[in-house]
Amino acid sequence: MANILSTGTSALLAFQRALSTVSHNVANINTPGYSRQQVDFEARSPQFIGSGYVGRGTQISDVRRVADDLANARLIDSGGELARLEQLASLSGRVDSLMSESTTGIAGLWSNFFDSVSALSASASAPAERQNLLGQANALTTRFQQLQGQFDQLSTEVNSGLAASAGEVNRLTSEIAQLNGRIGSAQTASPDLLDRRDQMIRDLVSLTGGTAVQQDGGAMNVFSAGGQALVVGVQASQLTTVTDPYRPERQQLALQTQGQTIRIDDRVMGGKIGGLLEFRDQVLDATQSELGRIALAFGTTFNAGHAAGVDQYGDMGGAFFNVPDPVVGGHAANTGTAHLSASLDDLGAVDGRNLVLQFQGGAWTATDALTGANVAMTGSGVAGDPLRVGGIALALDGVPQDGDRFLLQPTAQAARGLSVAISDPGRIAAAAPVQVQAALGNLGSATPATVRIGDASDPALRTPSTVEFLDGNQYTIDGDGPFAYTPGDTISAHGWSFVLDGIPAAGDSFTMAPTAPGSSNNGNAALLAGFDDATALNGGSLSLNGAISGLTTAVGSAARHAGYAAEAQAMLHDQAYAARESISGVNLDEEAANMLRLQQAYQAAAQIISTADTLFQSLLGAVRR
């Protein structure tokens, strides 16, 4: 009877604990990262009774979680990549909206501005058209500044995101290290602690990317996408943000480990942090630089064209736009006294890339700030021989020391500084500086076309001149010559030029005279109206209109590619999650069947105990008689 009672009791206790495990599974069906637990039974050691062995019931050998390391690793990897792509797609989409929407983009105001220039060319002396041109110019430059302001706001959001993510990483690494210490051996670890650690590792990798590797003893080591150790055993590294040595307004990540602060390369982070850094480096910076390049080209070429005209006061046109110089910032660790000031040297060679300039061994070198690729540079930096790189000239002041570095941003801030330089509508140089007129007594059919200005700085540009034809094949200019002439040839001198339509006759003359104040001449305005198609970029192969279209297309393409990649990765992540859940997830139907089976077994064990009690009571009754 004692054996019967002991056997029944063991079964009763074992089934009770198994029912508790099933209840625990059901209670945690919605707990993130929970793995269902399973009870393993085994027979208790039998008792030898002389003629053989008699069983002593059952006991629980293990309560283990049902998990697959490969499925967990796949889910960790896919989660980190999904977080990176979703972050990149979200922020890239916002830049795309800024550039493509009519209410925030630049294309609409760009068209309005050049439409106003065309309107002025049709009525060069009209005050309303002049005032409208200034209004459209201010609206366009304001839009450039607003876009730059929005980009600055996005950069601030990236800084905030990095700081917040670093704090969350530090919390997770600390807790994972503590759990490593509590778990000890994986063979005796609590299933709930293992689940909690795995969930924290997934959360951590979704921020930093990377992998988790189990070491001897059951501890999990976690490494970022670039291989930086975040957790090793019970030791946790700490992430922090530090100021960019070139740009104080920008934050970078650094790893604090063993008393050292090590800057982390932006290109080796994954997860949400990697998405933030990739967006800033490859989308935001590139968009700012290209927008600035357009602003620089627009302001520079329009100013050059405007300077070749004459305003209503009879003066040569000045700068229509204020165009900022390129920005050069020294590294915070520079030890020399050198200072570099930049200016535009060759607009066609400016590509907008940020460059790192370094002085080493008595010579200067330039590299791409994003890729590290070498960039050709000329000049020594001494007086009269400035450094020239990427269409920018750099004047050196002071003495550099070996290792001194500077960041050149040729166009990144140009959109912010572009503004209208004039406020008086009369200062708009709509007229050509000189006009050509045919003498009334000319006998030929030649009439002069529009005068073009090739060199507005020529001191004799506005000096009156006379072109006289000796016959149909030769002419003189102010008595100089004769010069050979073929119909269609360009006649030029003193920075001006024109072409004749028709055939001149002997004795025909054409007078070049300066444009008088208050003239309704529209020669320069007509030229300015076509400057949106001026091929000023990429060595003269890309127009301003083409650059704007290209920028909008590039931003939209980057946003779409990031979105498509995020959608594809979300599907892969769902598959990885489903694979993990098929192994470790709680199935209510299965748990209900287990509960029913265990309940019946529990009742049967209770009946065994009841039977043992009945037998024992019968024995006691027989003794009493």
The tokens describing 270, both together, are 């994954």
pLDDT confidence of residue 426: 92
Mean pLDDT calculated for residue range 357-377: 91
Cα–Cα distance, 117 to 464 (Å, whole number): 29
Which of helix, strand or coil describes residue 22?
helix
**pLDDT tens digits, 47-97:** 877 777 788 888 888 888 899 989 999 999 999 999 999 999 999 999 999
pLDDT confidence of residue 604: 84
pLDDT confidence of residue 56: 82
The tokens describing 341, both together, are 């000031």
Count of other CB atoms within 10 angstroms of residue 40: 10
Secondary structure (H, E, C), 559-610: HHHHHHHHHHHHHHHHHHHHHHHHHHCCCHHHHHHHHHHHHHHHHHHHHHHH
For residue 615, is pLDDT > 80? no
pLDDT confidence of residue 337: 92
Task: Return mean pLDDT, the chain.
Answer: 90
Confidence at 409, pLDDT banded by 50, 70, 90: very high
The tokens describing 556, both together, are 């939209």
More confident residue, 125 or 154: 154
Mean pLDDT calculated for residue range 309-329: 92
Please report, for residues 46, 270, 295, 384, the alpha-carbon distance to residue 162 in angstroms, rounded to integers and kept in the order given: 63, 12, 30, 44
For residue 622, is pLDDT > 80? no
Mean pLDDT calculated for residue range 245-254: 91
For residue 30, is pLDDT > 70? yes
What is the number of alpha carbons within 13 Å of residue 344 lying toward its C-beta?
Answer: 19
Cα–Cα distance, 342 to 607 (Å, whole number): 95
pLDDT confidence of residue 1: 53
Cα–Cα distance, 178 to 619 (Å, whole number): 58
For residue 5, is pLDDT > 80? no
Cα–Cα distance, 501 to 479 (Å, whole number): 23
For residue 166, is pLDDT > 90? yes
pLDDT confidence of residue 625: 58
What residue spans define the domains of the chain? 2-66+588-624, 71-114+127-283+544-577, 329-412
**Please, what's the b/e burial string for 470-487 (b: 16 or more CB within 10 A of its CB; e: otherwise)?**
bebeebebeeeeebebee
Does residue 387 contact residue 341 with C-beta atoms inside 8 Å? no
Q: Any alpha helices (H) in 101-221, and if so which ranges?
A: 107-122, 127-183, 191-208
Q: Any alpha helices (H) in 361-445, and if so which ranges?
A: 414-417
Mean pLDDT calculated for residue range 381-390: 88
pLDDT confidence of residue 187: 61
Percent over 90 (pLDDT), the chain: 64
| Rg, C-alpha atoms of the chain | 41
Which of helix, strand or coil describes residue 182?
helix
Minimum mean pLDDT among 54-58, 318-322, 372-376, 386-390: which range? 54-58
Cα–Cα distance, 171 to 149 (Å, whole number): 33
Instruction: Write the single-letter amino acid at 17.
Output: R
**pLDDT tens digits, 179-236:** 998 887 656 678 999 999 999 999 999 999 999 998 887 889 999 988 889 999 889 9
Residue 619: which region, alpha, beta or left (left: phi > 0; alpha: psi -120 to 50)? alpha
For residue 511, is pLDDT > 70? yes
Secondary structure (H, E, C), 193-226: HHHHHHHHHHHHHHHHCCEEEECCCCCEEEECCC
Q: Which secondary structure element, helix H or strand E, spans residue 28, and what is its range? A: none
Minimum mean pLDDT among 179-193, 374-388, 462-476: which range? 179-193
Cα–Cα distance, 190 to 199 (Å, whole number): 14
Phi and psi torsions of 494, nearest 5°: 55, 30
pLDDT confidence of residue 618: 74
Cα–Cα distance, 262 to 390 (Å, whole number): 32
The tokens describing 521, both together, are 């001449």
Confidence at 2, pLDDT banded by 50, 70, 90: low
For residue 251, is pLDDT > 80? yes
Q: Which secondary structure element, helix H or strand E, spans residue 24, and what is its range? A: helix 2-27
- Characterize the bridge pairing of strands 321-322 and 490-493: unpaired
CA geometry: angle at 193 spanning 187 and 194, to 5°? 55
**pLDDT tens digits, 481-503:** 899 999 989 999 998 899 999 99
pLDDT confidence of residue 560: 96
Select from 363, 170, 184, 336 the least CA-distant residue to 253.
170
Which of the given ranges, 205-219, 260-274, 510-524, 547-561, has the highest pLDDT on average? Answer: 547-561
Cα–Cα distance, 588 to 571 (Å, whole number): 25
Q: Any alpha helices (H) in 343-445, and if so which ranges?
A: 414-417
pLDDT confidence of residue 184: 72
Does residue 205 contact residue 222 with C-beta atoms inside 8 Å? yes
Does residue 359 contact residue 401 with C-beta atoms inside 8 Å? yes
What is the number of alpha carbons within 13 Å of residue 160 lying toward its C-beta?
Answer: 6
Cα–Cα distance, 298 to 321 (Å, whole number): 9
